[in-house]
Amino acid sequence: MAETSKSLQAKEKRGPLSVAEQIDQGPTFTPDVDIFETDGNILVVADMPGVTPENIDIDLRENTLTLSGKVSSPEGPDEVDILREYETGTYFRQFTLSEMIDQPHIDAKMTDGVLRLTLPKVKPVEPRKVKVKAE
């Protein structure tokens, strides 16, 4: 395992993907996400450091899944900057879900600043034969 792991590179936080995404005062960031599919589920994993489970807002309407999380500045009022390499603000990202998702059963978990959404796939409807009774 140790040999295969590469060294991590720092990357700048990404700003909003479009200007229309600006929803709040202050900087908005696009969280990094992994989207992968297993047999029964689609998983969305998003890095949102600093977002507490209470501050995350997951909204699902008309097949649009909206993730937003606000990070309030952790610095105290009397702290003076010495080095600043990152800013804090609001994380925002939207996805369009297909009808294949069992929307009422979406599950969300937040641990160590990582949001993990489980989107269960709808089981294919089994064809049903309707028997016609002869009377």
Partner 1 sequence: MIIKNSLDNLSRWRWDDTFEELERMRQEIERLYQYPAMKLFRGRSSGVFPAINITEENDIYYLRAELPGIKADDLGLSIANNTVTIEGERKSDPEDENTKYHRRERDAGRFSRKITLPAQIDESKADAKCSNGILTIVLPKAESAKPKKIAITAV
CB of 65 to partner 1, least distance (A): 14
Q: Within 90-129, which residues bind partner 1 (CB under 8 A)?
A: 110-114
Query: Which one of residues 20, 61, 79, 134 is an interface residue with partner 1 (CB under 8 A)?
Result: 79
Any idea of the CA torsion for 54, 65, 48, 5, to the nearest 10 degrees? 140
| CA 11 to chain CA mean position, Å | 19
Q: Contact region for partner 1 (CB under 8 A) — 28-36, 60-68, 96-104, 117-125?
A: 28-36
- For the purposes of burial, counting CB atoms within 10 Å of the CB of 134, is it exposed (0-12), middle (13-18) or buried (19 or more)? exposed
What is the contact surface with partner 1 in residues (CB under 8 A)?
5-13, 15-16, 19, 22, 25-28, 32-39, 42, 45, 47-52, 74-76, 78-87, 89, 110-114
